Amino acid sequence: MSTNGKTSRILQFMAPDERRQFGIETPFQRLAWQMQDILGDGGILKEVVHAGEGPPVPKHASCINKLFLEYTHTTVQKFGVEIFCFNKKRNEIAFPAQPLTHVPNVSLTTFLNVLDTQRSFGNLCFNKKRYEDARERYKQAMTLLQNRELVDDEEKQRLEEMKLPFLLNLSLTYLKLEKPQKALCYGQKALDINPQNTKALFRCGQACLEMSDYEKAQDYLTLAQAKKPFDPDINTLLKKLALCYMDYLDKERDMCSKMFSGFKRTEN
């Protein structure tokens, strides 16, 4: 994205409104505008998914966000997360704004919990129809998976399998964003991991149908139907595909008919 010649050193001194004017916000900065500023200086943000009640929890209370404390690895991060925890109210569900690209050397169980947290937040955004925010959460999880230092072949296999739900979610999210080419790309990546995955076949079929590639759509959906012959979503989409293809053939016949009728008039 163009920054009109401004270097990153200059951009850090620009006001947020000016950065938005030039269209150079990061996904994290876009998300930050929808979050609550805890300290008032933009340093610690949170998104309240479900509002709580009463005063903030006391500092001696056990923090339900222990997971975040486990994978924050600098003093500043720990300080920020602790403030986030103790700012919460009873029954409040919220997430801190902290773009993750790397988790330090923690156990596989803790790492999988971090991924699950990212997916939960992405799913919440998706369910609220905030598809761009959901996409960024899923992509953050994929970045974490790619940056993980693998211990052995067993862990490599386990993390490869963990990519599958994020790839499927990204494929669906891009369909919602009306970007079928990207949806197909992530669906095919999911099939690279598991060629028999019905959801991946279905997503690829959806994407091809959106791009009017009826033959490929039929190939993917037929394979999906063979695995789940009574799945209502697959069968409904196959019916839609048949109607779209018939409509396409009708338009082709009309166009050919007009072309030939024009030739006949010219000969006469």
From residue 121, give the alpha-carbon distance in Å to each of 95, 117, 118, 179.
Answer: 8, 6, 5, 22
Alpha helices, H only, 88-152: 108-127, 131-147
216 burial class (0-12, 13-18, 19+ CB within 10 angstroms)? middle
Which of 1.10.760.10, 2.40.110.10, 1.25.40.10, 3.30.450.20 is the CATH number of 100-241? 1.25.40.10
Instruction: Tell me the average pLDDT across 60-66.
Output: 44
Sort residue 23 into left (φ over 0), alpha (ψ -120 to 50) or beta: left
Q: What residue spans in the chain does CATH classification 1.25.40.10 cover? A: 100-241
pLDDT at residue 102, as a whole number: 59
Q: For residue 1, what pLDDT is reported?
A: 44
Please calculate the CA angle 167-170-171 and round it to the nearest 5 degrees.
85
Q: What is the pLDDT of residues 157-216, one digit of tens each?
A: 899 999 999 999 999 999 999 999 999 999 999 999 999 999 999 999 999 999 999 999
Instruction: State the pTM of this model.
Output: 0.66
Average pLDDT over residues 247-268: 68
